[in-house]
Structure 1
Amino acid sequence: MQAALPLQQGMPSLAPMLKQATPAVVNIAVTSKQEIQNPLLQDPFFRRFFDIPDDAPQERESQAVGSGVIVDAAKGYIITNNHVIDGADSIKVRLVDDREFDAKLIGKDPETDIAVLQIKADNLKALVLADSDKLEVGDFVVAIGSPFNLRTTVTSGIVSGLGRNGMGEGYQDFIQTDASINPGNSGGALVNLRGELVGIPSQILSRSGGNIGIGFAIPTNLAKTVMGQLTQFGSIERGRIGVGGQNLDPALAKAFGLSSSRGAVITQVVPGSPADKAGVKSEDIVLKVNGREISSFDQLRNIVGLMRVGEKVELSILRNGKPQTVNVVIGKAGAETASADGKGGGNLHPSLAGATFAPLDESSARRARADGGIQVQDVNPTSAAARAGLRPGDIILSVNRQPVKTIEQFTKLANPKTPELLLHIQRGPGALFLIIR
């Protein structure tokens, strides 16, 4: 029989770091009530025939599990994903030492998929939040969570990509990682080798529902910004500057005489908006936002949408080939635009989620030869609005055969309670009707 090899001293190990980090990662159990989708129970004849009382329960209790991370031990604040606790009737948090607490929902933001919980407990351990802007592709990271309800599971990998978006609706600036992330990891911790929090695992890319080495985490800088507003106000006040735009692809770059296709083209500036007051003009090329290079209009939208009203954003632009800097004061979203979030929020029909709408300015009306209307300012290419057939630049002339010339009229006619919308749209030189359900 071969003798066991002696243990080697000084072997590299993540164990010391994990002993410090894992107590801050918690298991979250959610209980909610769901309506029983059985059309027979809605039939009075069926109910009488089988003697089913009218007050018979038509709901069932469902349970789900996820993860969370303690970020403030003194106040008991826990960050998790909105989709982990969405619709919850009760939320319980279990610590690594098996203590269990009822959690209070402080606030949630579906558009960034962040929620903040609070528990009252002693001797909590919190993770330090790292500066996620300093992450680089190739950095080692570790994911900690409860995949498939296997508590305190640790997987390791590297940062595979940064600034990922297009995985759905909302504000996205994901860290991509090959550290194994599976159902139940959502809301947990992505840490660096110092045990500092760099991201919140949120999504996986998989056809089977399991890990294939492509997972996405919300950067801590984004999560920290959202958490600050949720703990202070209980909700998010979206920032806006009042511009529409599109990505600067190679064809557009060539047309503008540029050598690089990185950046965003401003296609519209809403009259009276913060951008208009700051001097931003249509055809400006935005290259940097607050000193950070951007490669798409979505990145510009994300950065602005996560800033607080009243803050200043610095835009590094090219105008007629000459570099300029413009400082814009962030305004309040909804002041001159309308939007929907697709989940029962916003002020428009959920099937219009992913699009923003603004009044038709005089120059656009003159070019389109339109006597008023509402312009589609921006459309997320993966959103419900895009699937419904809306495109940036569309001019909505009427809703359900009622002319619209102001945002107030449009909001009233296209509200979330309207089951079906008939939109009369002018697109370029032509026109069409769209039915939105």
Structure 2
Amino acid sequence: MNKRMFKQSFSGVVVSIAAMTTQAATVDFSNLVANVSPAVVTVSVTKKMTEQELLQQQVPELLRRFFGPNIVVPEPALPQEKNSYGTAFFIDKNGYLLTNHHVIADASKVTIRLNDRREIDATVVGSDERTDVALLKVSGSSYPQLSMGNVAQLRVGEPVLAIGSPFGFDYSASAGIVSAKMRNVMGETAVPFIQTDVALNPGNSGGPLFNQKGEVVGVNSRIFSGTGGYMGLSFSIPIDVAMDVADQLKQHGRVIRSYLGVQLQDIDRTLAEAYKLSKPEGALITQVTANSPAARAGLKAGDVILQMNGTAISETSQLLNLLHRTAPNQVINLQVLRNDKLQNLSATLVVAPDSTPANEQMSAKTVKKGPVLGIAIRNLSQDELRRNNVTGGVLVQNLSRGGIAASAKIQVGDVITALDNQPIDHSQDFIDTVAQLQKGQVVRVSLMRQGQPLIVGMRIS
């Protein structure tokens, strides 16, 4: 190709890209917004303030900055409740709405405000923390109902629109494109998120994500941010996943999940070569739980699951999503690679152990005797015990900046299994052991951090 031909060809590419950019930028959503807005509502939530939040308000930031977190100041009369906002939308005419779990979690009162400014008290039918989906219900009928889209037909690069209440500004519309599908966020494997570049901010949570037809394809859930605001990465729960959860919440008040009984990891380039795979694909079994459906089916550590019910598995999150979408007591057919040979195995799924964490949060601040460690903990659910490969322990939920626990390099998300050589099976063990600690003492704290055992020293001051 001569220089002139190259210039002409390159110029054509530039023109084509410019044309596509202009077309994407001029998508007109105005009619869509007018049609769907009546079915989108603002959610106002009243929550009781946590002990940590009350503690933070008692010490002004300026004093903390100069004198540290332990300064004693007169305690003003503080509100015991706080208000927050989110978004929801009607999924039928009888008053059922979808929103996020984190929008209404620990709410003492939930109110929705329609676009005609009417306010109606709502009841929380059920909520699922793992998928971040909650189902609300208001009395009455003949509400505007949104249509649900087909997520499988949603394409990367397709224009999408979100409507919500960012920072409390009602009925704000923001548009963008689908950046990716089947995304996992911070290790979360229960939801194959839709990633977009739609501007979402606090208050957008629980709102609908629309395709160009005005169909809901997702529930806006979270952002990836270092500042708390929009940074170009937004994540939505696929509407088919959300509707499955809503149906179960409506029927049972909770989500009943299936259980196979395996620990999984992705296949990388090196493992693909070791398993003689043409590319990284499948889900590698690293552990099989005894007496589980996987064990009864003959699955073994080292097996690579390549297909489930005829669907090719490209990565672990895809398999987990298929398992979560399959009802208990169903038989699944798996294609497995073992010792360089393909095998077909069948497993009957069972009901998963309750994965909802106990509704219990205890803080070392509440211990009547012993030092204040500046740490909030709670008991582990059965699912968390299994995932951390422990029989007991407490989960670190919060830490006070500059506190004893934080100074010992304990981190939020750690699982404490022993303190001062005493095994910690549950929160009461932790409280009782802390009560015996003495000032000046240095104690050992046994942890599980991201699946790895760790021991740190903690000086009691």
Equivalent pairs counted in the alignment come to 371
Is structure 2 residue 163 aligned with structure 1 residue 130?
no
Trace 1:329-408 onto structure 2 (pairs within 5 A). Answer: 329-334=348-353, 341=357, 344=360, 350=378, 355-357=384-386, 388=414
Counterpart in the other structure of 2:233: 214
Trace 1:112-127 onto structure 2 (pairs within 5 A). Answer: 112-127=131-146
Counterpart in the other structure of 2:93: 73
For 1:308, the aligned partner's letter is A
Structure 1 pair 196–333 and aligned structure 2 pair: CA distance change class (3 A): same
Counterpart in the other structure of 1:153: 172
Give the one of 83, 95, 109 matched to 1:63.
83
Counterpart in the other structure of 1:171: 190
Q: CA deviation at 1:252?
A: 1.5
Structure 1 pair 77–252 and aligned structure 2 pair: CA distance change class (3 A): same
Kindly indicate whether the alpha-carbon contact (under 8 Å) linking 1:352 and 1:385 is maintained by their aligned counterparts in 2. no
Structure 1 pair 84–40 and aligned structure 2 pair: CA distance change class (3 A): closer
Kindly indicate whether the alpha-carbon contact (under 8 Å) linking 1:351 and 1:388 is maintained by their aligned counterparts in 2. no
Is structure 2 residue 348 aligned with structure 1 residue 322?
no
Counterpart in the other structure of 2:259: 240
For 1:182, the aligned partner's letter is N
- Partners of 2:306 and 2:329 in 1: how far apart? 22
Query: Is the partner of 2:386 in helix, strand or coil?
Result: strand
User: CA offsets per residue over residues 243-263 of structure 1, 9 Å max, x none?
Assistant: 112211112222222221122
For 1:70, the aligned partner's letter is F
Structure 1 pair 293–341 and aligned structure 2 pair: CA distance change class (3 A): farther
Counterpart in the other structure of 1:225: 244
Structure 1 pair 301–112 and aligned structure 2 pair: CA distance change class (3 A): same
Counterpart in the other structure of 1:102: 121
Is structure 2 residue 163 aligned with structure 1 residue 144?
yes
The Cα RMSD (Å) is 3.8
* TM-score computed with the length of structure 1 as normaliser: 0.73
Kindly indicate whether the alpha-carbon contact (under 8 Å) linking 2:414 and 2:447 is maintained by their aligned counterparts in 1. no
Kindly indicate whether the alpha-carbon contact (under 8 Å) linking 1:105 and 1:116 is maintained by their aligned counterparts in 2. yes
Is structure 2 residue 433 aligned with structure 1 residue 415?
no
- Partners of 2:335 and 2:93 in 1: how far apart? 39
* TM-score computed with the length of structure 2 as normaliser: 0.70
Is structure 2 residue 55 aligned with structure 1 residue 37?
yes
Counterpart in the other structure of 2:37: 22
- Partners of 2:422 and 2:359 in 1: how far apart? 26
Which stretch of structure 1 is more off in the superposition, 206-215 or 297-306?
297-306
Kindly indicate whether the alpha-carbon contact (under 8 Å) linking 1:317 and 1:323 is maintained by their aligned counterparts in 2. yes
- Partners of 1:31 and 1:108 in 2: how far apart? 16
Counterpart in the other structure of 1:82: 101
Q: CA deviation at 1:388?
A: 3.1
Structure 1 pair 57–292 and aligned structure 2 pair: CA distance change class (3 A): farther
Instruction: Could you tell me which runs of 5 or more consecutive residues in structure 2 were left unpaired when the two chains were aligned.
Output: 1-25, 60-72, 362-376, 394-409, 434-444
Q: CA deviation at 1:230?
A: 0.7
Counterpart in the other structure of 2:305: 286
Structure 1 pair 38–130 and aligned structure 2 pair: CA distance change class (3 A): closer
- The 4+ residue runs of structure 1 with deviation greater than 4 A are 38-41, 56-59, 339-345, 349-356, 373-376, 384-387, 398-403, 420-425, 430-436
- Partners of 1:318 and 1:88 in 2: how far apart? 48
Query: Is the partner of 1:231 in helix, strand or coil?
Result: helix
Q: CA deviation at 1:344?
A: 4.4
More helix by share: 2
Give the one of 186, 199, 203 matched to 2:218.
199
Kindly indicate whether the alpha-carbon contact (under 8 Å) linking 1:358 and 1:374 is maintained by their aligned counterparts in 2. no
For 2:34, the aligned partner's letter is K
